[in-house]
Amino acid sequence: MPQVTLNNGVEMPLLGFGVFQIPPEDTERAVTEALAAGYRSIDTAAAYQNEEAVGRALARSGIPREELFVTTKLWIQDAGEEKAKRALETSLGKLGLDRLDLCLIHQPYGDYYGTWRSLEAGYRQDTVRAIGVSNFHPDRLTDLITHNDVVPAVDQVETHPYFQRIGDEEAMRKRGVRMEAWSPLAQGRHGLLQDPVLTEVAQAHGKSVAQVVLRWLMQREVVAVVKSTKPERMRENLAVFDFELTDGEMTRIAALDGTSGPGFDHRDADSVDFINSMQLT
Ligand code: NDP
């Protein structure tokens, strides 16, 4: 598995396995199968409510800790310096780990400056190897950078061929922040997996559209986390390192940008209200 080097020298697998919307009772099985398929990077979040199941799968796997890359995210209701400190300890406890590889602020809402100071403390104490953000547009990202000490290693955002965020990626790159894709397959929405251009490219390589999409991200060195509950799809999504898209194919895929907007608009007031109202129990 190719790795990328984050801005603090930490190596992160280019492709990982995400567990959003996998029910807690199914997560241990899914992560066990993902690890068996070859994934070593696992992406969870306090809000997914399946950290304990992820932790059980990691412990049962017998895979040495240093071969795993574990990411979690802190939710809005835990925003602020003190609350985030406790939330980080809670996540570590649920995952059964004494150190995280990456911890992200899940949403750019609430007192995330306080949360960031807490993450910086965790980073200095080596409880977290790298810290970052998620769903930050470049304006909020650059302000966070300006007013704090540690530059986020990663900004995990929604991106796929219909919503490419080329400008956002440039802004991140310029500041040393690695873009990480969530919903790289657009959760199968917008007809992405039936797209005629992607289908043609996939056929030319004897691959699936999902594989072409993931390969396109890999060639751009955008880290991605992809989810499936099905072992055969887990393996399919990992088999993207044995072929290469040509420059012409990359250009054709680039032209698909804008076919859809975001699945979730972090700047839409009603969406912000909705997400701020989500309380973890
Ligand atoms: P994805 O783009 O990974 O799509 C997952 C969907 O695609 C599932 O319905 C899955 O179905 C299906 N699928 C997976 N592989 C294939 C395939 N090869 N062919 C056809 N269909 C396929 O969406 P996610 O939203 O899950 O994003 C991935 C990860 O990103 C999450 O699990 C999470 O870790 C992270 N994320 C982070 C967010 C954030 O705010 N930071 C928000 C959303 C996601 P099935 O399971 O039946 O195979």
What atom of ligand 1 comes closest to residue 226's alpha carbon?
3
Per domain, the residue ranges of the chain are 3-276
Span 86-94, mean pLDDT? 98
Task: Tell me the pLDDT tens digit for each residue of 212-231.
Answer: 999 999 999 999 999 999 99
What atom of ligand 1 comes closest to residue 210's alpha carbon?
18
Task: Tell me the pLDDT tens digit for each residue of 193-212.
Answer: 999 999 999 999 999 999 99
Give backbone dihedrals phi and psi of 163, rounded to 5 degrees, phi first: -150, 80
Question: What is the C-alpha separation between 261 and 232, in angstroms, rounded?
Answer: 30
**Could you tell me if 180 and 157 are in contact, meaning their C-beta atoms sit under 8 angstroms apart?**
yes
Ligand 1 pocket residues where CB is under 6 Å: 18-20, 43, 134-135, 156, 182-188, 193, 208, 210, 225-230, 233, 236-237
Q: What is the DSSP letter of 187?
A: G
C-alpha 2 to ligand 1 mean position (Å) = 21
pLDDT exceeds cutoff 90 at 254: yes
C-alpha 18 to ligand 1 mean position (Å) = 7
pLDDT given at position 281? 79
pLDDT exceeds cutoff 90 at 279: no
Q: Tell the residue nearest (CA) to atom 25 of ligand 1.
A: 183
Owner of token pair 């304006």: 139
Active site residue 48: yes
Question: What is the C-alpha separation between 253 and 168, in angstroms, rounded?
Answer: 18
Please report the sign of the dihedral spanned by the C-alpha atoms of residue 113, residue 226, residue 44, residue 278: positive
Owner of token pair 């955002």: 157
What atom of ligand 1 comes closest to residue 187's alpha carbon?
4
pLDDT exceeds cutoff 90 at 109: yes
What DSSP letter does each residue of 8-19 carry, written as one string? TS-EEESEEEE-
Q: Tell the residue nearest (CA) to atom 30 of ligand 1.
A: 182
Global model pTM greater than 0.85? yes
Owner of token pair 């887990």: 234
Distances (CA, A) of 84 to 46, 92, 116: 11, 12, 9
pLDDT given at position 32? 98
Task: Specify the CATH class of 3-276 in words.
Answer: alpha beta
C-alpha 183 to ligand 1 mean position (Å) = 5
Q: Tell the residue nearest (CA) to atom 11 of ligand 1.
A: 228
What atom of ligand 1 comes closest to residue 185's alpha carbon?
2
Residue 42 pairs with which residues in a beta bridge? 17, 70
